Each structure stands twice: as C-alpha cells, then as structure tokens.
C-alpha cells in the first residue's frame, strides 16, 4: 500500500456511516468512470473532426488542463472540507449558497432521467450482439434502431434493466459497490479501448479518419470552436453538478486532492483521445459519415462492424466497452442524490436507492415515449431533447459559474488553501488558483452559458 492509498483508507466510525473510498486507485477509477461516458464515445471524436481536428484537440487539452483542473480541484475541496452531499456542503459554507447545491442535485437527477434510457439502448445492443443477432442489425442498422426506439414498451424494459443494474451496485457501501465496480470495469474498459484503437488504426484506409481527427486546421478555429470545447470539457469531465463534491466527501483528510485533480483530467484526456482513435479511422475506412450524433453508435458503427473482418466479435467487445462507460457514469450521477438522502434524511443506502430507482424510472417514461407516442413539444423540442438542453446547456454551466463565484469571492481563501494542502505538499499555485477562480473560469463559463443557451446568437444577428 503506498502512502496515499493508506491515507484514504483510515476512516472513522462516523465516516463509515456515509462510506468512504478504500484507496486512491479506487477513487481515481471511480472519478474516471464518471468522466468516460457515452458523451466521450460519440461526441468527442465527432465534435473534434468538425471543429478543425488537431487544433480542436489542442484547445480541448488546454481548457481541460486549466479550467478543468481548477474546477475539479474546487469541487473536491468543497466536498472534502464539508464531508457532505452538494446541498449540505454548500449550506454548511453558508445558508445563502444552499440553492447552488439544489441546482447541482437537480442536474444529476435530470441527466439521469435520459442517461438511463440511452444506457438501456446500449444494453439492448450489447445483448443483441452477444446473442449473435449482429446480422439482423446489420441488414438495416438505421431501420433496426428506429424500429427499436419507436416501440413504446421495449426501450422502457431495457431502461428498467439498466436502472436495476445500477441499483444492485449502489445498495452496497461506497467501497463495496461503486468503488469495486469501477475498479473492475475501468481497467477492462481501457484494455477494450486499446484493442479497438489498434483494430481501427490498422484498417485499410484508416489514414483518412486519422487525418480528419488530428490534422490541425486553424482556419476552422472560431469563437464557436472554443465554446464547443469548453462545453465538451464540462460535460466530459462531469463538472458542474457536484459529482466531485460528493466523491470528495468520501475522501480522507490525508488524500492529496491537488494530485487527484491533475490525475483525473489527464486520464480523462487520454481516454477521450483514445475514443476518437477507436472510432473515426474505422468510420472513415468504410466511407461513412461521422456526423451522426448519437446515431453514430447505433447506426454508423453497426455498418463498420459488418464491413470489418471479425466485425461481430469486435462489436460485442465494443458494446461492452460502451456499456461500462455508460454505467460507470450513471453510477456517479446516482451517487449525488443518494448521498443527499443518506445525509439529510438518514435513510439507509438500500432504502434510498430503491426509492430513487423507482422515481427515476417514472421520470424517464415521458422522455422514452417522446421517441414514439408522446409527441408534445417543449419550446420546439421533444421532451427528451428539452430535458437534456435544460440540464446540459442551461443548468450545468450555471452551477459551475456559481461555484466559481463562491470559491473566488465568497469563501475565505485561507480555508480553501488549508483544505487543499491537507494530506499533501504545500500548494505552490495559490495566485494562479485565485486568478482562475475569480476571473478566467467564471468568465469562460459565462461565455459558454450565453452561447449554449442561445442568448449569444441573439446578439450576433
């Protein structure tokens, strides 16, 4: 056991009521599990290709290593200092901040209502490919997918199965459920990802995808490239809804949160980069378009697998990979309201998880049905699209912005630095941290917010 592993494991009796991570490896795998998700797999490669390839990758790396690192450090600092769920944590800093935690909890809840549906789709495909139904899918991937999501009942059943899998992991203590599941799944995910990368880049004609992905084209870098990168960093690193506050609350005082807040984004970057290398060369090798949105996974990739030697085998592997990515992210989202109910109402994890699982499923129903029988529009969007717009484009940046305002202006810096320095070496970047949390980070988020909410467009007209 190395020093930091020991550090995270020494919990007190009071802490064991809430649960705690047993080691820094488990913590890192769990945090990375939250970061690598379905968004990484279809969105990062595609957004990169559309926004100037290598130049976008550079901007994305830069934003992750600056704002991303500081946001994660800020969340871990709040979480570990307060040792509470986001609502309790913000409230314990000041009653006036409670609403920020409430927004964070709501975002996690809202995202889950549709993440579970997509998780169900992934599960359906994983099972279908594993049972050898690849040829049925390959005969008409778009038709198969449309027919599936167009049926009212079947996708809901897969959503229930996906929620149930989350439930069976989450009813255990943090160390025996969430942490253990991620410790097993994440290394497997990385191995599968590497196999897919090797397969993808060694296909004939893979070069076209590699160059679409990586050739820097600075002429494509505009203001909207930068806001796209900022938004993607937030979603991909799961920043701005209190996941890292919740995870930080399970960390022991001696864990070095400075180190963790660099390790998490760096591993997140490596995995996002690998997702691009696993997907784009393969898509290009078979002359398909990467501009499919989420259909990339369910419609484009089945074509790729069909055309690839031993493609069905790779399809099984790949859908398991996506499944691990999806469930490790949904677990992190579930953990936010679970921590809330355990802290605030002193419910057991089992009771909390049972109530939440049922509630979550009921709230998912209108979104799942918005692909078939529920045709109502909300501001011109389907129920599914509206909820994701509300959570990701409006509330996530808002919550991140408010956190930086609190860190930069309202919470005493001395206490923050003392927290950051616990369990590690002195914090040498205090001035940098102050400039980031006071100016650069909130300003950048305000810009993403104005952009993603569509408000900026009103001015550009």
197: Cα within 13 Å, side-chain hemisphere: 16
107 or 206: CB nearest ligand PHE = 107
Nearer to ligand PHE, 149 or 336 (CB): 336
Smallest gap, in angstroms, from Cβ of residue 42 to ligand PHE?
Answer: 9
Binding site for ligand PHE (CB under 6 A): 34-35, 37-40, 111, 235-236, 238, 243, 329, 332-333
Cβ of residue 333: shortest distance to ligand PHE, in angstroms? 5
Buried b (16+ CB within 10 A) or exposed e, 74-102: bbbbbbbbbbbbbbbbbbbbeeebbebbb
Note whether 294 and 258 are within 8 A (CB). no
Which CB, 275 or 316, lies closer to ligand PHE? 275
In the complex, the smallest distance separating the C-beta of residue 299 from ligand PHE, rounded to whole angstroms, is 18
CB of 329 to ligand PHE, least distance (A): 4
By the 8 A CB rule, do 208 and 67 touch? no
Task: Compute CA distances 378 → 42, 232, 385, 389, whole Å.
Answer: 25, 24, 9, 11
Residue (107 or 283) nearer to ligand PHE, CB? 107
Distance between CA atoms of residues 90 and 110, nearest Å: 20
In the three-class reduction of DSSP (H, G, I as helix; E, B as strand; rest coil), residue 381 is classed as strand
Q: How far is the CB of 68 from ligand PHE (least distance, A)?
A: 12
CA–CA distance, 309 with 136 (Å, rounded to integer)? 17
Nearer to ligand PHE, 51 or 416 (CB): 51
Work out how close the CB of 282 gets to ligand PHE at its nearest, in angstroms, rounded to a whole number: 20
CB 406, CB 416: distance < 8 Å:
no
- By beta-carbon proximity to ligand PHE, the closer residue of 138 and 327 is 327
* CB 90 within 8 Å of CB 248: no
Q: Which residue number, 117 or 138, has a Cβ lying nearer to ligand PHE?
A: 117
Using only C-alpha atoms, the chain has a radius of gyration, in whole angstroms, of 21
* Residue 388 Cα to chain centre, angstroms: 13
Which residues share a beta bridge with 378?
A: 381
Q: Contact at 8 Å (CB) between 263 and 28?
A: yes
Length of the chain: 461
Residue nearest to ligand PHE (CB): 37
| CA separation for the pair 81, 96 (Å, rounded) | 18
Least CB distance from residue 254 to ligand PHE, whole Å?
27
35 vs 57, which CB is nearer to ligand PHE?
35
């Amino acid at each position: 056991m190395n020093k930091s592993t020991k550090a995270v494991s020494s919990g007190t009796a009071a802490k064991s009521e809430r649960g705690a991570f047993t080691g820094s490896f488990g913590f890192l795998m769990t945090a990375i599990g939250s970061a690598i998700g379905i968004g990484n797999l279809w969105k990062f490669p595609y957004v990169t290709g559309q926004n100037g390839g290598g130049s976008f990758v550079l901007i994305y790396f830069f934003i992750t290593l600056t704002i991303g690192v500081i946001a994660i450090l800020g969340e871990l600092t709040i979480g570990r200092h307060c040792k509470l769920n986001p609502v309790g944590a913000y409230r314990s800093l000041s009653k006036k901040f409670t609403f920020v935690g409430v927004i964070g909890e709501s975002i996690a809840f809202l995202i889950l209502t549709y993440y579970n549906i997509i998780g169900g789709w992934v599960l359906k495909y994983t099972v279908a490919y594993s049972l050898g139904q690849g040829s049925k899918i390959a005969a008409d991937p778009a038709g198969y997918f449309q027919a599936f999501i167009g049926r009212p009942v079947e996708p809901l059943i897969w959503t229930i199965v996906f929620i149930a899998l989350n439930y069976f992991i989450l009813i255990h203590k943090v160390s025996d459920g969430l942490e253990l599941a991620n410790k097993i799944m994440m290394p497997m995910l990385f191995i599968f990802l590497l196999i897919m990368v090797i397969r993808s880049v060694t296909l004939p004609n893979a070069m076209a995808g590699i160059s679409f992905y990586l050739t820097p084209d600075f002429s494509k870098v505009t203001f909207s490239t930068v806001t796209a990168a900022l938004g993607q960093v937030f979603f991909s690193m799961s920043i701005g809804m209190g996941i890292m506050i919740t995870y930080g609350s399970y960390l022991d005082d001696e864990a070095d949160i400075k180190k963790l807040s660099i390790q998490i984004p760096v591993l997140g970057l490596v995995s996002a980069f690998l997702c691009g290398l696993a997907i784009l060369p393969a898509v290009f090798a078979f002359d398909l378009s990467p501009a499919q949105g989420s259909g990339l996974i369910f419609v484009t990739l089945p074509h790729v697998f069909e055309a690839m030697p031993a493609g069905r085998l790779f399809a099984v592997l790949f859908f398991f990979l996506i499944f691990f990515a999806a469930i490790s992210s949904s677990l992190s989202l579930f953990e936010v309201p679970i921590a809330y109910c355990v802290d605030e109402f002193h419910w057991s994890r089992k009771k909390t998880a049972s109530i939440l699982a049922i509630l979550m499923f009921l709230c998912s129903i209108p979104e799942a049905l918005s692909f078939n029988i529920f045709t109502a529009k909300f501001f011109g969007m389907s129920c599914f699209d509206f909820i994701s717009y509300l959570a990701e484009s409006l509330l996530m940046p808002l919550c991140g912005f408010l956190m930086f305002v609190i860190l930069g202006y309202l919470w005493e810096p001395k206490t923050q630095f003392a927290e950051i320095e616990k369990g590690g070496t002195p914090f040498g970047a205090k001035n940098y941290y102050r400039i980031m949390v006071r100016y650069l980070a909130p300003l950048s988020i305000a810009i993403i917010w104005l952009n993603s909410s569509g408000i900026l467009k009103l001015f550009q007209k």
